[in-house]
Amino acid sequence: MKIGQSVIILTMKGTGESYVFGSLSAIYGMFSSEDLNITYSALRNAVGLYRKNNQIDESEPFMQVIYDNKRSLFTLYRAPLLLLEREKKTEI
């Protein structure tokens, strides 16, 4: 297996509903800053700080928390897409 692009999973703490996005900015196409109680730029900075403080290794092939705190309404996860490596066909 090889690791492909990652997706961002947003899980609402109150309801447990989960949404899958291709980027942090895509989250704000569905939710407003008021819905999430955080602006895009503040979230982007908070995710970077969380990754640094928790030593998140993005090369790992499993889902990892990339943002969470006691006051937030949601938790963000990063999950890599795992891809099957195909054998190259040799031509005769």
Q: Note the pLDDT tens digit of each residue in 13-28.
A: 999 999 999 999 999 9
Q: Phi/psi at 28 (nearest 5 deg)?
A: -80, 0
Which structural domain, as residue segments, surrounds residue 52? 2-83
pTM: 0.80
Please indicate, yes or no, if residue 53 is contained in any of the structural domains.
yes
Residue 43 lies in a domain: yes
**Number of structural domains the chain divides into:** 1
Residue 88 lies in a domain: no
Question: How far is residue 44 from each of residues 16, 27, 67, 80, measured CA to CA in Å?
Answer: 22, 11, 10, 19
Tokens coding 65: 């928390």
Is residue 90 included in any domain, yes or no?
Answer: no
User: pLDDT at position 91, please?
Assistant: 73
Q: Which long-range contacts (CB under 8 A, 24 or more apart) does 62-71 make?
A: 63/9, 66/8, 67/43, 71/37
